[in-house]
Chain A
């Protein structure tokens, strides 16, 4: 009996675990990078979860209807952009409270996905689509261990891993990246130097929306092949915490996201290995971990410098009176 459990344990802690973790990174990574951009420009979008769910449905639906994964992702991206546009209008232009609007976006996104799901797939067996298949990179995928883990993944995994350093470069080393960050630190100063605060905030929110939608679409098109309104399961809210933990830096986000994906895949393995165990308690871990990390960060006191000073503050140009 003990030997059996040991065998099962080894099964869990196997290379395939790490490989699965990497495959699970895109939803967190894409959404986190997107939210980093939004927050660096000073807007916090707590409705990311809603955009992800909507993206999941649109991605699923798009692929279902056209049999093309690309169409699915495109549909999702459009949906994400539209929701983000709505949020931008309400917060940046109409200056409504970002938290309140974010909540509304969550409800609208989550609800719309459920609503459309009911209308378009009424009753019966839920439909399935094919998930993305892994594409082995020639030569690199033959490297022992690393080859399987890192270079035998699907396209979206590669793209999202590549996105991180690119996103970081744009944000920290280019003129527009500096302008974005200046808007998030002190929009008044930025404005006085001729930086277009409003357009930049719109742009960053929309980028965030597109990435969040793609993240959600990946869950349906890349992981499960199905859609249910529980598919995102709180990941969008965890992303809010991940953004803080990665100190608003896309490169650091990769590490943080890997850690949480690892947690995710351990959960899955555990569940299939011990089907009778109360997995709900294990499922609480990511959420509890996020809280703990937030407290630890406060205690260490280090986020002050990295957090955009004007986060969650709307900017209204003081009129020339």
Chain B
């Protein structure tokens, strides 16, 4: 009996207490495209990194062509015939396409190795239909994202691999580039008889291109199937789980019609790399409501949150907060107007002690004649710590000594202590936090809502969004693709589908 090209059995990976991969089985044959499908945090990234020598598995076995496989580094994996195309390309932007491909190849030191390999590389590009033969001297920085990806692929294939791992390969491609990409995959499988592992959260793409699909959820294999045997709905359910009765916070107060707290109109924002992250978004958040924006990480929600809170300048569009124009205002100015921000990260200064962290936003209120009043600062800290049950070794402890959950409680406690507040923009407020603290924070947010203030909740946590939001928008690829006015009546699968469906459909 011949061996599968790649075989993983009972692979387990622990990071301290967290089990990222649990008992994962996986098989790959030559000439096959086998997709690993899962939502954020399902463990597919970890598994892939184990295959590529970036992480060492805690338990289990992996075989390549029947022989045990234990890579110590990516260079190791490459030498053994396994290549990985990262989501963020490992290319050197100022170098030419040709130089990127020939970098690190064996040969004489003072040789012009790029010239030496040129013909062969051009040939390979033609065979695979990658269309790079005439672009070999272009700088990588001059290429489109889709083309860059093809350079990555060519680079890896030129090094003689048998197995190709692709990490979320279509996340930065335009719809047309996606089609071209699938064409390339088909040719790779036909011409080179490779085994391809495609890691993705886009289930319709998995359905379109795979021979087999393995679904991961919470680090475990939920099932392995083929496109013929399954449809989108079933896959979505496998990915996100059954629709438990969403634990909607029942102590909601009915406000009826309320005023708009924030109006966003045609907002377009670019990210740090100059790409459009938020694409013509419009929405309205009312007083006394929790408006949720849910989506897979990296779809523009971070940029959206930063733009509406004054930290990022948009390309175009308007944002109006209670009559104030947000665009052009400073974070501090907006804070004074009552627009608070609970950031994704860097909410506390690790080196500062607790009382100092408690006055980070309004330290100027705490000084008389140039001197910061220590006792006033401490009494504020005392109040926050008590009200929010923050577990601390002592009031003089630095933030770095607190657990993640307590740090977050401290941040939220100090923010919600602002008496002038009118709206809170909360970005992933319960990421990585234990269940009890999560509930506590949710209660506080609902309380804000009940007292007539508004909350814009930006999160990747679907359960959280469904449980406390009054209205829910799904962001995908920088656009708002659906708005659910009654989250109680919506199934998790529906929302999951909107989150993961690719834009081209």
Q: Do chains A and B touch in the complex (CB under 8 A)?
A: yes
Knowing A305-B141, A320-B53, the reply to whether A189 touches B91 (Cβ < 8 A) is yes
Segment of B109-117, B130-138, B300-308, B375-383 in the binding face: B109-117
Q: In the complex, what's the smallest C-beta–C-beta distance from A252 to chain B, in angstroms? A: 16
Q: In the complex, what's the smallest C-beta–C-beta distance from B296 to chain A, in angstroms? A: 25
CB 8 Å contact bits of B80-117 with A (1 = contact, 0 = none): 00000000001111110001001111011111111000
The prevalent SS among residues of B at the interface is loop
Segment of A118-126, A191-199, A234-242 in the binding face: A191-199
A182 & B103 in contact (Cβ 8 Å cutoff): yes
Does B349 lie at the interface of the complex (its beta carbon under 8 Å from any beta carbon of A)? no
B residues within 8 A CB of A321? 15, 55-56
In the complex, which of the residues A175, A188, A189 contacts B108, with contact meaning CB atoms closer than 8 Å?
A175
B99 & A192 in contact (Cβ 8 Å cutoff): no
A residues within 8 A CB of B108? 175
Docked complex Cα distance between A190 and B103 (Å): 8
A193 & B104 in contact (Cβ 8 Å cutoff): yes
B window 57-85: CB within 8 A of A:
72-75, 78
A residues within 8 A CB of B107? 175
B104 & A305 in contact (Cβ 8 Å cutoff): no
A window 168-226: CB within 8 A of B:
170, 173-176, 178-179, 181-182, 185-186, 188-195
Q: In the complex, what's the smallest C-beta–C-beta distance from B20 to chain A, in angstroms? A: 11
B residues within 8 A CB of A170? 110
A residues within 8 A CB of B74? 192
A window 141-187: CB within 8 A of B:
170, 173-176, 178-179, 181-182, 185-186
B residues within 8 A CB of A320? 53-56, 72-73
Docked complex Cα distance between A317 and B141 (Å): 25
A residues within 8 A CB of B91? 189
A194 & B95 in contact (Cβ 8 Å cutoff): no
Knowing A195-B103, A305-B141, A321-B55, the reply to whether A178 touches B114 (Cβ < 8 A) is yes
Kindly report which residue of chain A lies nearest to residue B96, judged by CB atoms.
A178
Docked complex Cα distance between A173 and B113 (Å): 9
In the complex, which of the residues B54, B56, B73, B99 contacts A178, with contact meaning CB atoms closer than 8 Å?
B99
Q: In the complex, what's the smallest C-beta–C-beta distance from A174 to chain B, in angstroms? A: 5
B92 & A176 in contact (Cβ 8 Å cutoff): no
A178 & B95 in contact (Cβ 8 Å cutoff): yes
A window 38-96: CB within 8 A of B:
none
B75 & A192 in contact (Cβ 8 Å cutoff): yes
Docked complex Cα distance between A320 and B90 (Å): 18
Q: In the complex, what's the smallest C-beta–C-beta distance from B497 to chain A, in angstroms? A: 35
A189 & B55 in contact (Cβ 8 Å cutoff): no
Knowing A174-B110, A191-B75, A321-B55, the reply to whether A179 touches B94 (Cβ < 8 A) is no
B window 37-57: CB within 8 A of A:
53-56
B residues within 8 A CB of A174? 109-113
Kindly report which residue of chain B lies nearest to residue A173, judged by CB atoms.
B112
Interface centre among A175, A179, A188, A191 (most CB of B within 10 A): A175
Q: In the complex, what's the smallest C-beta–C-beta distance from B304 to chain A, in angstroms? A: 28
Q: In the complex, what's the smallest C-beta–C-beta distance from A98 to chain B, in angstroms? A: 21
A residues within 8 A CB of B93? 185, 309
Docked complex Cα distance between A194 and B110 (Å): 17
A residues within 8 A CB of B94? 185, 305-306, 309
B residues within 8 A CB of A175? 102, 105, 107-114
Docked complex Cα distance between A178 and B99 (Å): 8
Kindly report which residue of chain B lies nearest to residue A191, judged by CB atoms.
B75
Q: In the complex, what's the smallest C-beta–C-beta distance from A295 to chain B, in angstroms? A: 23
Kindly report which residue of chain A lies nearest to residue B89, judged by CB atoms.
A189
Docked complex Cα distance between A189 and B56 (Å): 20
B110 & A185 in contact (Cβ 8 Å cutoff): no
A185 & B92 in contact (Cβ 8 Å cutoff): yes
> Chain A residues in contact with chain B, CB under 8 A?
170, 173-176, 178-179, 181-182, 185-186, 188-195, 305-306, 309, 317-318, 320-321
A175-B105, A192-B73 known; 20 new pairs, CB 8 Å cut-off, are: A174-B111, A174-B112, A175-B102, A175-B110, A175-B114, A179-B104, A181-B95, A182-B104, A185-B93, A185-B94, A185-B95, A192-B74, A193-B75, A194-B104, A305-B94, A305-B141, A306-B94, A317-B73, A320-B55, A320-B73
Q: List 30 A-B contacts (CB under 8 A).
A: A170-B110, A174-B109, A175-B108, A175-B109, A175-B111, A175-B112, A175-B114, A176-B109, A178-B95, A178-B99, A178-B103, A178-B114, A185-B94, A186-B90, A186-B92, A190-B104, A192-B74, A192-B75, A193-B104, A194-B78, A194-B104, A195-B104, A309-B93, A317-B73, A320-B54, A320-B56, A320-B72, A321-B15, A321-B55, A321-B56
- 3 tightest Cβ-Cβ pairs between the two chains A and B: A193-B104, A175-B113, A192-B74
> Chain B residues in contact with chain A, CB under 8 A?
15, 53-56, 72-75, 78, 90-95, 99, 102-105, 107-114, 141
